[in-house]
Chains A and B, each alone.
Chain A
Amino acid sequence: MKNLIPIILILTSVDLIYAQSKEPALELNYTYENIGNAERRKVKLIFRNQESLTSFSAKDTAIVGEPKDFDIGGEDDKGRQVYKNSITGQVIFRDFMPRDGEFVPCIVADPMKPLNWSFSSKVKKIGKYRCSSASTEFRGRKYVAWYTEDIPVTHGPWKFAGLPGAIIEVYTDDRSHLFTLISINSLQDAEIKPPSDAQPVAMGEYVTKKEQAVTDFINRLAAALPRGAEITGVSTGDNNLETDFSDVVKK
């Protein structure tokens, strides 16, 4: 009988682990709009326990914005992803980095601190959900989020996390970036794991290369022109979600 006790214990724990892994995940589907880039994408957030994976779809080419002479960027079929784990504190994302005139996928462990949300007393109903409001600042932008505690999902799309319920919508104060929840599904066999199919790159290198690439691009443009050509008025704005990486790279 004594010999049986450890076996029973092992079997019970295996059963518990199995039951845990079988717990269904929630799939929250958002649309993401980036007004400056005339960009709209589908964004899928899969959440289970304290772990989530956000995946951005390809850009919706039906959206036409202001005419541009060029729109240079790059991505593959897998696109951008963000993995978050609130237990380990990990934020690991997949993005594209300019390298040798190409855009290559990379995996970056983001050392970001948890977002510091300020809660307001504002409430409103969005669809069937009673929503509360909270705001935060992150890497150069101010965000307003509307979340509902009716859906127990503590992660939002992209790098948002730390609210006591699912984000129904979140947008920048200038409304240049907007995530809106479209639908929720339950998934039985969802796999949530960090992206791993690209070259790992340190966050500092990622930021430096991203910034350097713009200078390289302008230099490439200048080199294509004859001697004596003058390039002026290089004004740059930034349509990316993150515009200030001073928490990562000191200047």
Chain B
Amino acid sequence: MKAVLVLVIFLLTGAAQSKADALSAPAATTKEVLGSCTFAVNGTFNGVVVNVTITVSEVSALECAVMKAAARKALEPPKK
């Protein structure tokens, strides 16, 4: 019975310690991977077919997504 109690205390203190370690550990840093961002936009402007491919080099995936959104914004139809 004593041996079992010692084992439980050991396990509990061990678990608590590992949790504390996890909390006090410094945040993991991820290095952003920069690459080429290429996307195409296709459509018509006043009946004229426009197909463009846009390429931006040395950007992150997040920046690439922002650029796609900016391109879409630029393509919003003009107000009547």
The answer on a CB contact under 8 Å between A69 and B43 is: yes
If A70-B77, A74-B78, A225-B70 touch, whether A213 touches B45 (CB-CB below 8 Å) is yes
Report Cα–Cα, A239/B71, bound state, in Å: 23
**Contact count band on A:** 35 or more
Contact with A along B4-38 (1 / 0, CB 8 A): 00000000000000000000000000000000000
Could you tell me the distance in whole angstroms from the C-beta of B76 to the nearest C-beta in chain A? Answer: 8
Report Cα–Cα, A223/B42, bound state, in Å: 17
Interface centre among A69, A98, A230 (most CB of B within 10 A): A69
Known contacts A70-B77, A213-B45, A239-B47; can you find 10 more A-B pairs with CB under 8 A?
A: A71-B44, A72-B43, A72-B46, A73-B47, A225-B71, A226-B56, A226-B67, A232-B52, A232-B54, A240-B47
The answer on a CB contact under 8 Å between A234 and B50 is: yes
B3 adjacent to chain A (CB < 8 Å): no
Chain A hits for B42, CB < 8 A? 68-69
Chain A hits for B70, CB < 8 A? 224-225
If A220-B74, A221-B71 touch, whether A237 touches B53 (CB-CB below 8 Å) is no
Chain A hits for B41, CB < 8 A? 69-70, 221
Could you tell me the distance in whole angstroms from the C-beta of A134 to the nearest C-beta in chain B? Answer: 26
A229 adjacent to chain B (CB < 8 Å): yes
Could you tell me the distance in whole angstroms from the C-beta of A183 to the nearest C-beta in chain B? Answer: 27
**Contact count band on B:** 20 to 34
The answer on a CB contact under 8 Å between B46 and A231 is: no
Contact with A along B51-77 (1 / 0, CB 8 A): 111111100000000010011111101
Report Cα–Cα, A239/B54, bound state, in Å: 23
Contact with B along A8-37 (1 / 0, CB 8 A): 000000000000000000000000001011
Inter-chain CB contacts under 8 Å: number:
119
A6 adjacent to chain B (CB < 8 Å): no
Chain B hits for A228, CB < 8 A? 56-57
Report Cα–Cα, A226/B70, bound state, in Å: 9
If A74-B77, A221-B75, A224-B74 touch, whether A236 touches B54 (CB-CB below 8 Å) is no
Could you tell me the distance in whole angstroms from the C-beta of A36 to the nearest C-beta in chain B? Answer: 7
Pick the contact of B77: A72, A224, A230, A234 (CB < 8 A): A72
Chain B hits for A233, CB < 8 A? 40, 51-53
The answer on a CB contact under 8 Å between A71 and B48 is: no
**CB-defined A-B contacts under 8 Å, sample of 15:** A36-B44, A68-B43, A70-B44, A73-B77, A74-B78, A76-B80, A98-B78, A102-B79, A102-B80, A103-B78, A221-B71, A221-B74, A234-B51, A235-B49, A239-B47
Pick the contact of A225: B46, B56, B78 (CB < 8 A): B56
Report Cα–Cα, A213/B77, bound state, in Å: 13
Report Cα–Cα, A98/B43, bound state, in Å: 17
